[in-house]
Each structure stands twice: as C-alpha cells, then as structure tokens.
Amino acid sequence: MIHTACGLDCPDACAMIADPAYFPKLAADTSNGALCSLLNKDMFQSPRIEIPRIGGVEVTMDEALDAAADALKASPSLLWRGSGNFGVMQEVTDLLFEKIGGMLTKGSLCDGAGDAGILKGRGVNRTLPWEQVAKADVVVVWGHNITTTNTHIVPYLEGKKIVVIDPVVTAMAKKADLHLQIAPRSDFYLAILLARLTFLEGREAKGWMDEYAPEYENFYDFTTDFRIKAILSHLGMGLDDMGSLLTYLQEERVVFLVGNGVQKYSIGHYAMWAIDSLAAVLGLWGREGCGVGYLGNSKLGFDNPFQTQCKRVSKVATRFGDFQTVLVQGGNPAESMPDSNRVEDELEKVKNLVYFGLYENETSKRSSIVIPAKSFFEKDDVRLSYGHHHVRKMNKVIESSIGISEYDFCRAIFERLGLEGLKAEQYYIDAWLGQCQKHEDHYISPEYQENPYKEGFGSDDDEKFVWIDEFDDSFENVKHLRKFRKKRDKTDQESFWLLTPKAKHALNTQFRRGDSVQLHPGLGYSKDEKVLISSEYGSHEFIVHHNKDIRTDCVLIEANVIGVNKLTPSIESEEGESACYQEVKVTIERISQG
Ligand SMILES: Nc1nc2c(c(=O)[nH]1)N[C@H]1C(S)=C(S)[C@@H](COP(=O)(O)OP(=O)(O)OC[C@H]3O[C@@H](n4cnc5c(=O)[nH]c(N)nc54)[C@H](O)[C@@H]3O)O[C@H]1N2
Ligand SMILES: Nc1nc2c(c(=O)[nH]1)N[C@H]1C(S)=C(S)[C@@H](COP(=O)(O)OP(=O)(O)OC[C@H]3O[C@@H](n4cnc5c(=O)[nH]c(N)nc54)[C@H](O)[C@@H]3O)O[C@H]1N2
Ligand code: SF4
Ligand SMILES: [Mo]
C-alpha cells in the first residue's frame, strides 16, 4: 500500500492510499469522507498525450528534449506555469529559468485580489483551521460554492445555522437558513452596510477592538460615507433582509467561508478587506469557533528552495509575443486566461511555444514542441494545501513509460545546456518536508496556528488590524464598463453580468468541457437554442440551458466551457495583479436557424 495525496488544484488536498496492483483503484486516507469523482472518474477518463511532438510530428523524448533545450537558448524566454498539479516540485523549473536568464510570471488568475485585501487588513494570510469551522454556531458561506469546490469542508457545517451570500441559489443556499441572492460585485457594499448597522445597534466588539483594532472610529466614519438607501436598492434588498442577517452575525461563534466569487473584479481586494473589517467589528478574530476562511497561502512559513531572482511579467495579461521561447507548464493559457482572442494572437507570435502537460488542449494544439508530463501518481512530490495545514508526501504509485517529471525535465535541460547547480530531487523534497512538524502519518505546515490572529496581526502577530479606509469606485460608474455602456446605449441592448464559477466535473479546463450558457427561463430563450454571447472583448456561441437559480440580470458560463474567456477582460485587479473574470457585461443574441 502506498500513501500519497491528490495533486489536483483543490483546497481539500485529500490524502489517499493506493495498492499498485489495483491501480487506479484508490481509497481515502482520512476519516473525512470519500475521494471525489474528479479524481476517481474524470481524471482517468481523460486521454493523455503519450508521445512527444515537434512541429506536429511524433518524436522520441530525447529528440523533444534536444529541441526544447535549443529553444531555451533563445532569449528572451518565459516560463508560464499554470496550476494543473499542486505539488511543490512543479516549481523546480524556476531554477532552470534563473540559470538561463529567463523570466517568470507574477500575479494570479485565481485568488490574488482577495489575497491582497487580506494583506491590507491582517498583514498576513493565515488559513482558518477546519477545527474552528467545526466549533462555529453560524457559518456564512460567502461567494464560495463549497458543495462543488471544497466538498470535504461540507460535513463540518452539519447542524449549524447556515447563511449563504451568492447571486446564485447554490446547492448550499437551498439548505441554508438564510440566502441573500445579492447582485454580483456588490459584496463591498453589503459588508460596509452590515458593519455600519452593527455600530448603530451598539453591537460592535468594543473590548476586542480597543486592544487589537483601535482605529475603529475612523472606520465607523468611513462607513457613513455610503448611503444606506442607495446601497439597499443597489443590492436589491430591504432593511429587513439586513436585520435577519444581523441576527445570525450576532450569535456567539461565527465563521465566514469566503470564496473566489467576491473578488473576480477590479475592486476584489476592497470586497475582501471590507468583509475582514466586518469580521473585526464583530470581533471574530482569534476566538474559538470564529474567523474568516479564504484561499490561504500554502507556502506561508516555508523557506522556498525554488526562490529565484528572475524578472517577472504579468500572468493575467502576458505579452507572449515579446518572447522568442515560451514554456507553458501545467496550464492551458489559451483557454484559462481572460481575453482568449488577445491570448491567441499573442501565442501566435511566439517563435518556440513549448507545451509541457498531460492532456491535449487549446494550448498544446498551438505549440511547436509538445512534451508529455508524468501525472502525480507517477512521480514523487510534496503536497501543501491552501485550505488546511496538512502537508503530505506524494509517493510514486506506479511506473509509467509515458512522459517526464518536472525534475527530470530540468535535469535533462541542465545537462544539455551544460548548466550546473541542480541538486538531487530528494534534496528538494526533504527541504520542504524538513520544515514541517512531523506527526505519525502526516506533516503539519510551519504556519499552523490553532487559532489564527489570537495574539494580533502582521507576520509577527504583534500588529493591529488595519481598517479599510478607502474606496475609489462607485456602482453608478464602474470604470471598466464605461466603454461597454456607451456602445450598448447606442444599440439599446439589454446587458447582463457574467458569472463564471467552477464546474463539478472539471478542474478548470482539465477533464470534461462544456458548451452551455445557463440562463433564467424567464429571459425567454428556449432550452437548447444557440445564442451568441458578446462582450466588448469578443463573442462566442453557446447552447442555452435553463437554470431558475440564477438572477435574471446574470448569465452563467462555467469555467470549463469552451469559449467563455473570449468574453472576459485581460485587466488586472487594482491590487494583487489578479484576473477580473467577472468585470464584464454581456449581451445575448438569438442565432437565426437556417
Ligand atoms: N472563465 C473563467 N476562467 C478561469 C477561472 C474561472 O473561474 N472562470 N478560474 C481561474 C482559476 S481560479 C485558475 S486556478 C486558472 C487555472 O488555469 P490553468 O492553470 O491554466 O489550469 P488548467 O486550465 O486546468 O490546465 C492545467 C493543465 O495542466 C496540465 N497538467 C496537469 N498535471 C500536470 C503535471 O503534473 N505536470 C505538468 N507539466 N502538467 C500537468 C494538464 O495538461 C492541464 O491541461 O483558471 C482561471 N480561469
Ligand atoms: N469541481 C471543481 N472544484 C474546484 C475547481 C474546479 O474547477 N472544479 N477549481 C479549484 C480552484 S482553482 C479554485 S480557485 C477553487 C474556487 O472555488 P470557489 O471559491 O467556490 O470559486 P467559484 O466556483 O469560482 O465561485 C464561487 C461562488 O461565487 C459566486 N459568485 C459569483 N459572483 C459573485 C459575487 O459577486 N458575489 C458573491 N457573493 N458571490 C459571487 C458564484 O455564484 C459561486 O457560487 O475551486 C477549486 N475546486
Ligand atoms: S476533493 Fe479535491 S483533493 Fe480530494 S480527491 Fe477530489 S479533487 Fe482531489
Ligand atoms: Mo484557482
């Protein structure tokens, strides 16, 4: 029996056991529920790239590595790494790019804006342990679709009062005690309003704030800059809705589980910072059964052996065309990055586009050199999590003739280019594990605190909470939508917010792909009819699926749907250099049949 962990980009980071004789039969290695069908089914149903290619012609691995080494002699070169596998050894290729003077990316397609908001208030992004969620009386699930994206946390919510804040009636919203189906991009206003009303009712956690967040009077003044009536009408809610929500927030132990949904906008950091500030007014920090969970920083507290001094370019709006050689590792930028039309044009300009991954996708098809990778069952690695503090050694379960590991790829290129300084694979694995606290069958991250922020904020826990005190946006006049609004005003078309959350049977663009747009049946489009969805960035055809759980001012296209990112903007969030997939309005047009 071999112990390992799931390497898919998922906060659960499940531990599992495999018997090589029965592979791919797998068993969960914790008492925390079963492994999901993404791993058990969808992953193994996805055909792998088995044979390397140069210019579309199948070659041996040695020939492909020779070609990749040659390509990496050209300057400038860029490593664009996605998050197809969450093992830490993915980053060993940074050492190669440092040696050849290549560049890396900075910023995030994922959680960067929310992370930036957390750093503003708390100074450091610590993960809320699941044990604290288990002790809560009330759990507020805020822009986080946990029954799809974080399934192993769901059992911890058993028996608790649940509040959901989401523009969609999610599966969790259907079970919740209260669901606020708020307008997209309005979480900042909701959090500010709730904080203000808490002050007005005299329910603020004064004792805690005096000690850990003393500037709260300035924050109270800040909340009064926003008009209650205007906010309520923007949220599409009444004071009674706020009243019901506040009764839950005023219970003894309250946890917020915040997801990516609140921050896929230029102002994403403000939304997260405002939510953290609301938690501070309620005194939810450092107390048993309280806190704010978000996608944590899995590497916090580690000395990273793959740290380099490489120059970096934007991951969200990468100008691939500026590079002679681009190595795409573990990602599918042609589909996962925003503004696919721009990305495709840019990828077209790259002389040597090298794809290093498991599956055929829109990026592999465009690449002149294709190198199959090994899956996480076929190599050794270490798995950290952005959802909890367990660290797992990922042990190779099976030998495979397909592909090459990231470490072996690096070593092969080092050799071919006569480079020195790459240490043994085990050295790096030990460097990560050696920094963890060792328990009987697992490791715990050095960052682990049972009750984060109990002693204070900042990286040394000796600072005060910093209240949000600025906001330079307004819902009447969203900066990035002005151009669109002008154009739409001319054509008089109705416009909708784009929601683009994760799909159940795909991990971003891996595994099952989709072709549908989900619309409220009240909008009048027929099931299965083809529509053209357009934004100022592009258009694409989708098949209509009815979903009465969506607001009528939104369309929903999941992240695994082909063409969704033709619609999204390659702008960066104001803080965090993060993608803003939902900072966009779209129109719907019928496609006439015949
Ligand atoms: N519209 C829309 N777009 C989104 C999102 C959204 O919600 N909506 N979400 C964004 C988010 S949160 C994220 S994290 C990004 C993810 O975007 P990407 O990081 O580009 O991830 P994927 O599209 O899943 O592509 C992962 C690829 O990694 C390869 N791979 C898997 N395992 C390995 C391995 O062990 N080694 C190597 N070398 N390759 C491997 C596979 O071939 C797979 O095709 O997408 C973003 N894009
Ligand atoms: N099955 C599956 N699991 C996954 C992934 C996957 O692709 N498939 N991807 C993994 C990755 S890379 C990540 S980053 C995580 C992300 O996991 P989540 O944080 O759950 O992210 P999303 O699915 O993008 O969206 C979460 C919710 O936000 C809501 N939402 C949208 N806009 C708003 C808004 O303006 N305000 C509020 N309050 N809510 C809003 C959406 O309706 C949705 O219910 O999931 C991981 N887990
Ligand atoms: S829940 Fe997440 S970590 Fe667990 S098996 Fe599924 S994809 Fe892997
Ligand atoms: Mo992500």
Indicate whether residue 564 lines ligand 1 (CB < 6 A).
yes
CA end-to-end distance (rounded Å), the chain: 59
How far does CA 581 lie from the centroid of its chain? 11
- Closest ligand 3 atom to residue 35 Cα is 5
Q: Identify whether the C-beta of residue 549 lies closer than 8 Å to the C-beta of residue 152.
A: no
**Distance (Å) from CA 9 to ligand 4 centroid:** 7
Indicate whether residue 82 lines ligand 1 (CB < 6 A).
yes
Residue 43 has what pLDDT? 95
pTM as predicted:
0.97
Residue 479 has what pLDDT? 67
Indicate whether residue 110 lines ligand 2 (CB < 6 A).
yes
Residue whose CA is closest, atom 4 of ligand 3? 14
Indicate whether residue 13 lines ligand 3 (CB < 6 A).
yes
Indicate whether residue 83 lines ligand 1 (CB < 6 A).
yes
**Distance (Å) from CA 83 to ligand 4 centroid:** 8
Residue whose CA is closest, atom 19 of ligand 2? 259
Indicate whether residue 394 lines ligand 3 (CB < 6 A).
no
CA 166 to CA 173: how far, in whole Å?
Answer: 8
**CATH class as words, domain 112-293:** alpha beta
The two domains 2-109+300-434 and 478-590 share their CATH topology (first three levels equal): no
Residue 473 has what pLDDT? 83
Indicate whether residue 113 lines ligand 3 (CB < 6 A).
no
pLDDT means over runs of 10, the chain (594 residues): 96 95 91 88 95 98 98 98 97 98 98 98 97 97 97 96 98 98 96 97 97 98 94 92 97 98 97 98 97 95 97 98 98 98 98 98 98 98 95 96 98 98 98 94 93 97 97 74 66 88 97 97 97 96 98 97 98 97 96 72
The domain ranges of the chain are 2-109+300-434, 112-293, 478-590
Indicate whether residue 144 lines ligand 2 (CB < 6 A).
yes
Indicate whether residue 146 lines ligand 3 (CB < 6 A).
no
Residue 477 has what pLDDT? 63
In terms of C-beta density within 10 A (0-12 exposed, 13-18 middle, 19 or more buried), how is residue 476 classed? exposed
**CATH class as words, domain 2-109+300-434:** alpha beta
Tokens (6 digits) for 188: 């900042």
Q: CA dihedral defined by 445, 450, 456, 462, rounded to 10 degrees?
A: -50
Tokens (6 digits) for 550: 């969506």
Q: What is the 3-state secondary structure (H, E, C) of 261-299?
A: HHHCCCCHHHHHHHHHHHHHHCCCCCCCCCEEECCCCCC
**Distance (Å) from CA 402 to ligand 2 centroid:** 33
Strand partners, 254: 138
Tokens (6 digits) for 215: 């500037």
Residue 592 has what pLDDT? 76
Indicate whether residue 105 lines ligand 1 (CB < 6 A).
no
**Distance (Å) from CA 264 to ligand 4 centroid:** 11
Q: Identify whether the C-beta of residue 556 lies closer than 8 Å to the C-beta of residue 547.
A: yes
Residue whose CA is closest, atom 6 of ligand 3? 36
Residue whose CA is closest, atom 27 of ligand 1? 331
Q: Which CATH architecture has domain 478-590?
A: Beta Barrel (2.40)
Q: Identify whether the C-beta of residue 62 lies closer than 8 Å to the C-beta of residue 52.
A: no
- The SS3 call for residue 363 is coil
CA 103 to CA 535: how far, in whole Å?
Answer: 32
**Distance (Å) from CA 558 to ligand 3 centroid:** 19
- Closest ligand 3 atom to residue 28 Cα is 5
CA 361 to CA 509: how far, in whole Å?
Answer: 8
**Distance (Å) from CA 464 to ligand 2 centroid:** 30
Let me know the angle formed at the C-alpha of 253 by 448 and 256, rounded to the nearest 5 degrees.
65
Residue 52 has what pLDDT? 98
- The SS3 call for residue 332 is coil
Contacts of 346 (CB under 8 A, 6+ apart): 318, 319, 320, 321
Residue 384 has what pLDDT? 96
**Distance (Å) from CA 507 to ligand 4 centroid:** 9
**Distance (Å) from CA 112 to ligand 3 centroid:** 22
CA 388 to CA 349: how far, in whole Å?
Answer: 41
Instruction: Kindly provide the b/e burial profile for residues 480-509, where b requires at least 16 CB atoms within 10 angstroms of the residue's own CB.
Output: bbeebeeebeeeeeebbbbbbbbbbbbbbb
